[in-house]
Structure 1
Amino acid sequence: MVCTEPLGKSAVYLLISKGNNSHYNQGVEFKMNTAGFDVFFLTMGAAMVLAMHAGFAFLEAGTVRKKNQVNALVRVITDFGLSTVAYFFIGFAVAYGINFFAPVSQLNSIGGISNGYEMVHFFFLLTFAAAIPAIISGGITERVRFWPNAMATVVLVALIYPFYEGMIWNGNFGYQAWLEANFGAAFHDFAGSVVVHAMGGCLALGAVVMLGARKGRYGRDGRVQAILPSNIPFLALGSWILCVGWFGFNVMSAGNVEGVSGLVAINSLLAMVGGLLAALVAGKNDPGFVHNGALAGLVAICAGSDIVHPIGALVIGVVAGAGFVMGFEFIQNKLKVDDVLGVVPLHGGAGAWGGVAAGVFGSTALGGAGGVTFMAQLVGTLTGVAIALAAGFVVYGVIKKVVGIRLSEEDEYMGADLAIHNISANPEQDMVNH
């Protein structure tokens, strides 16, 4: 099979040779619209990122106590459903000015691209948007009320996240033009170190602070009381699912077949490995740190995965993995903030580091592709962090004041599984035991 001209937006010509047989030497020529390739490409990417939500669910289910496993699983999948509706009717339009209130004949060619490309583009970007409540879920788990949390999910995915998303990925409000005029380049965030992860992690900080620590987490003398995870294999499974899906998250952020780059794949791989090895050493072989360290590396490389040198990606991952371990211990032990899965350092800290690091390791001086400046990356990152911190405290603070966001002490002691869902993770076994 020979491609007779480069992939383009219009068409691809394929010449299929049938070998040396004289009956087939003329070949057969086909003309294909590349929009179909792009739709298929992005659908596969969306499916991979959708699978990452199973990773979020099992990572959380393995980290929480047994009495809260069902609640963790239900909240993650329910948040995805709520996010879909919120982003479909409001969020996508806020970010990109596109809505789907039109006949199918028009939906199939929104933006002048055939085959319904913008509809699958929505699906792909939705999976990013839905990562926001999935990230927050890990911080607030084991003591949050179900429906107040659902209210927060709708607000964040419909309004807060797409507000910043549109600024960065659609140039809304002239923000990117302003950065370029003042700092020599626009803010570069290829796959969402800041747009998705720092945003989710910093939003989670407000939620966790508004909720307060789990009962028994900190003693009256201020000492940290260990609350052990329920299932290390589940935790590990969640991390592995996330790691695999992340290659759809990063590589397919190109948006089309023509823009896909092997550089993004190898950079994601090396950052992941750097993160897990650094966390292995810094975390003294702790399995929770190791499996989350891999994720910290992947979070950090999202922004510059298409422009940094692979060795730079490895360094970015190492810093992210070690930083996660130190950040987790600082927040839990020094600040006494009960962030159960460590989402603030994992997504907020590593995401912010990734945004800034793209401005360092993406420079041509360090073997990168260029097109970025340190100041543009710093200002763009700080803007996202500031919006998320403010929104997290405001949204969860208002919900706390109006309807309350925390389970009663009795329900928390019983566990969210029985208190909210009336069933445990192992109901048949529990019946036998009783």
Structure 2
Amino acid sequence: MTTSVTEVHGAVQTLTQSSDTMFLLLGAIMVFLMHAGFAFLEVGTVRHKNQVNALVKILADFGVSAIAYFFIGYWVAYGGTFFADAETLSQGNGYELVKFFFLLTFAAAIPAIVSGGIAERARFYPILAATFLTVALVYPLFEGMIWNGNFGLQAWFEESYGVGFHDFAGSVVVHGVGGWIALIAVLFLGMRNGRVRAGKHTNFAPSNIPFLALGAWILAVGWFGFNVMSAQTLNGISGLVAMNSLMAMVGGILAAMVAGKNDPGFIHNGPLAGLVAICAGSDLMHPIGALVTGLVAGALFVYVFTYLQNKTQIDDVLGVWPLHGLCGAWGGIAAGIFGASSLGGLGGVSLTVQIMGTLLGITVAVAGAFLVYGVLKLAIGLRLSEEDEYRGADLAIHKISSTSAE
């Protein structure tokens, strides 16, 4: 009887481990697919002469990110390395390996976010160098503080305020950090040539709305893997996360439709704004709170992006700072508002801590980006020559256009 019970227990444990591994693997694949969304969103937004570069840059960034995170970033964030034999690494159905893959897809989102902001005038290899440094050092520094308790930050929050900083799926850790890094990169690169003519701002229209829409759809679908599967185990899965992601997405669509006056670019970025903002508190909020979070995010993106494009020297091509940086920060704060039990949430969250953690994430991102992009600009330069920018990154860097081999 004892042997039988032991065997049953072992079989159940194996089934649980293998199920969790498959669950997380599917999540990793869905988030990996989101990188195609980043690529097509950028392809559809930039001018035709920069479409090939948009596609190549996202894929190359992922490759560099994988190496940076495998050898350095994962160790910085979680203290784990892969310097062991394959038998050791594959224990527990290889769950820890799949967890690395899942977390890598989050880390690689940082340069994918940055890519949209710096499009059309950035040199290729210097940007890949920046990708390596941000994924190896800057992003994992804050990731480890929030998701692994490094440096005692979360322990201090819990001791001082009773709860830690809550960011379930990365409104601040991933999107906020990526968006604020992008802002610094955009500032270092400066405006694209031709954006200001006779003292007035000129906006370049998206080159391909169907590609832009395709990118938005891929991102929106993949986001349910990004959010729901952040539970990382089947036992932790929550339909509340899925419902809140849905409602925030819808809020973003509706707000962008109204605020953007039916502009297709805004309407397709609206759901992304809502999804960015809901990541942090998707496991805590009431669906109505999630809807409001998405509504605010969609309007925030439209109004700030419009202001940047028409009134400032900040030439953020895809609007990644308002979309990811500002909406990500809003999401961190919104978790502290709508996650409260007094507003129908599950509680266990502090608005004060959410504000402090969000500001810390912004500080780490800005300081790290200033260091990385500042040094690279001084050492090797970040921007294409005026002639190459005029020709377009496709021909200047890759020697081929999106429409011909000439």
TM range, smaller chain: over 0.9
Aligned residue pairs total 398
Task: Specify which structure has the higher proportion of helix.
Answer: 2
Structure 1 position 179, deviation (Å):
1.2
How high is the TM-score relative to the length of structure 2? Answer: 0.96
Partner of residue 244, structure 2: 267
Instruction: Give yes or no for the alignment of 1:214 onto 2:192.
Output: yes
Secondary structure of the corresponding residue to residue 427 of structure 1: coil
Structure 1 position 331, deviation (Å):
2.0
Instruction: Give yes or no for the alignment of 1:36 onto 2:18.
Output: yes
Partner of residue 27, structure 1: none
Letter in 2 for 1:322: A
Is the Cα contact below 8 Å between 2:190 and 2:313 reproduced in 1? no
Letter in 2 for 1:86: A
Query: Of 309, 318, 322, which residue of structure 1 is paired with 2:295?
Result: 318
Query: Of 415, 418, 432, which residue of structure 1 is paired with 2:392?
Result: 415
Could you give the per-residue CA deviations for residues 64-120 of structure 1, whole angstroms, max 9, x where no partner exists? Answer: 0000000000000000000001000110010000000000111123xxxx1111100
Change (3 A) 1:102 1:135: same
Distance 1:331 1:230 in 2: 20
Q: Which has the larger radius of gyration?
A: 1
Distance 1:32 1:403 in 2: 52
Query: Of 143, 150, 158, which residue of structure 2 is paired with 1:165?
Result: 143
Is the Cα contact below 8 Å between 1:180 and 1:376 reproduced in 2? no
Secondary structure of the corresponding residue to residue 150 of structure 1: helix
Is the Cα contact below 8 Å between 1:210 and 1:396 reproduced in 2? yes
Is the Cα contact below 8 Å between 2:203 and 2:309 reproduced in 1? no
Distance 1:271 1:226 in 2: 29
Over the aligned positions, Cα root-mean-square deviation in angstroms equals 1.1
Superposed, which structure 2 residues align to 1:18-417 within 5 Å? 32-109=14-91, 114-221=92-199, 223-417=200-394
Change (3 A) 1:108 1:32: closer
How high is the TM-score relative to the length of structure 1? Answer: 0.90
Give 4+ residue runs of structure 1 displaced > 4 Å after superposition: 10-13
Could you give the per-residue CA deviations for residues 181-226 of structure 1, whole angstroms, max 9, x where no partner exists? Answer: 22221000000000000000000011000000000012242x1112
Letter in 2 for 1:308: M
Q: Which ranges in structure 1 are unaligned for 5 or more consecutive residues? A: 1-9, 14-30
Structure 1 position 343, deviation (Å):
0.2
Is the Cα contact below 8 Å between 1:273 and 1:314 reproduced in 2? yes
Letter in 1 for 2:378: K
Structure 1 position 395, deviation (Å):
1.1
Is the Cα contact below 8 Å between 2:201 and 2:311 reproduced in 1? no
Distance 1:195 1:12 in 2: 37
Distance 1:238 1:246 in 2: 12
Change (3 A) 1:288 1:164: same
Higher relative contact order by CA 8 Å / sep ≥ 6: 1 or 2?
Answer: 2
Distance 1:160 1:220 in 2: 40
Distance 2:42 2:398 in 1: 17
**Range that drifts further, 391-400 or 69-78:** 391-400
Structure 1 position 32, deviation (Å):
4.7
Is the Cα contact below 8 Å between 1:184 and 1:376 reproduced in 2? no
Structure 1 position 166, deviation (Å):
0.2
Is the Cα contact below 8 Å between 1:275 and 1:294 reproduced in 2? yes
Is the Cα contact below 8 Å between 1:274 and 1:297 reproduced in 2? yes
Letter in 2 for 1:44: L
Letter in 2 for 1:90: I
Partner of residue 3, structure 2: none
Could you give the per-residue CA deviations for residues 310-341 of structure 1, whole angstroms, max 9, x where no partner exists? Answer: 01000000000000001101222222210000
